[in-house]
Amino acid sequence: FAPWDDPDRSPLIHFKSVTKRFGDFVAVDRVDLPIYEREFHALLGPSGCGKTTLMRMLAGFEEPSEGDVLLDGRSLKGVPPYRRPVNMMFQSYALFPHMSVEKNVAFGLKQDGMAKSEIGDRVAEMLKLVRLEQFAKRKPHQLSGGQRQRVALARSLAKKPRVLLLDEPLGALDKKLREATQFELTDLQVELGMTFLIVTHDQEEAMTVADRIAVMDQGAIRQVATPSEIYEQPSSRYVADFIGDINIVEGRIEPGANGVTRLVAPDSGLVIETEQTLDEIPETAWYAIRPEKLRVSLDEPSEASVNTVSGEIWDIAYLGDVSIYHVKLDDGTVVRATTANTTRLVERPISWDDRVWLSWDRTAGIILTR
Ligand code: ATP
């Protein structure tokens, strides 16, 4: 089972109550985060939330103002970057423009005083790994963006660090190439059996590559979990809203019988039933449901059923694989519902101004208390 669920397992990397201040500004705020060997871990959050600063403290480019970063249980305090078994690949790639691909990859090994024959073998191994063997003699400007990215990757892996740090590594690539490269990165990480830590503000990227994601906001970590847990069981409105699309209704909680909890929205009178049990009943709570968990129907349900609401189609976006509907409820609230286009849409089944019924299961959404 997963190392983060194993109480006997100690982490490879451990950020322990790490704070980083720049003057009065708190860039990283008491972060506690264990990362395990062979994990692909993502730091995800909006621009300026402190994710790069957190990563730079592991690389040794910044020292914590308070707290400690441990590797294998040992403090990294005072250990210079080049002495840490960690390598960072930058978004800019920082390739030497006048050096060939192989010289770029060999650079760090040469500086470390590795024997020439060994360097040759290692460079060949790395270029094979990223499928650039036939480009060894080219200069960076003679390569495509994707190839340059792979040179940078080969160079940062050449010393076989224990941890590879990736700072927005795919930002410069177009969408298709970026998606393909995300899968290549996960394959590579599994093949090498290495620990990867990636910084990204792109939630799809984090969900594609990572085993676990730490969602950050204003220097603090809001939730650490697997992609599906983050998406299906967000711990707060912040996380729910940051990841993907979601509808959120505020209301008060009424504990019901038989394991059913109700949320009543005061303005619309909407009553939502869930099977979620709460440890404590808060004054206010929020019901959050993803657009794809709503069923959209042109027919009124035959019997008065719970978790049903009607409204008018206000807007439609046809995206090919899915259609997004904006449904205006009678109280004016606009709800987003997504349906998968599982058959070829020859005729549009639902159009503007149609009255539709939205319905959902008791287990489809989640009550959030903060
Ligand atoms: P982005 O995705 O835009 O890179 P980020 O989440 O990686 O954002 P950081 O680069 O970690 O954010 O920066 C966090 C905050 O700390 C920002 O407000 C930034 O301006 C500030 N900051 C970072 N480095 C320094 C520095 N050397 N001196 C002063 N402030 C800094």
| Number of the ligand 1 atom closest to the C-alpha atom of 22 | 29
**Ligand 1 center to 78 CA (angstroms):** 22
**47-79 tens-digit pLDDT:** 999 999 999 999 999 999 999 999 999 999 999
Per this entry, what is the length of the chain? 370
**Ligand 1 center to 52 CA (angstroms):** 7
pLDDT in tens, the chain (370 residues): 788 888 889 999 999 999 999 999 999 999 999 999 999 999 999 999 999 999 999 999 999 999 999 999 999 999 999 899 999 987 777 889 999 999 999 998 998 889 999 999 999 999 998 889 999 999 999 998 889 989 999 999 998 999 999 998 887 778 888 888 899 899 999 998 999 999 999 999 999 999 999 999 999 999 999 999 999 999 999 999 999 999 999 999 987 778 889 999 987 788 999 998 888 888 899 999 999 999 999 988 877 678 999 999 999 999 999 999 999 998 889 999 999 998 887 777 899 989 999 999 999 999 999 9
For 2-65, where are the E strands, in sequence order?
13-22, 25-35, 40-44
Question: ipTM score here?
Answer: 0.94
Does any ligand 1 atom lie closer than 6 A to the CB of residue 201? yes
What domains, with CATH codes, occur in the chain? 3-239 (3.40.50.300), 245-368 (2.40.50.140)
For tokens 């590879």, name the residue: 164
| Number of the ligand 1 atom closest to the C-alpha atom of 199 | 7
**How is residue 352 written in tokens?**
């503007």
Does any ligand 1 atom lie closer than 6 A to the CB of residue 335? no
C-alpha distances (whole Å) from 254 to each of 144, 284, 289, 365 are 59, 11, 18, 16
Does any ligand 1 atom lie closer than 6 A to the CB of residue 22? yes
Does any ligand 1 atom lie closer than 6 A to the CB of residue 47? yes
Does any ligand 1 atom lie closer than 6 A to the CB of residue 307? no
Burial of 20 (0-12, 13-18, 19+ CB in 10 A): buried
Does any ligand 1 atom lie closer than 6 A to the CB of residue 189? no
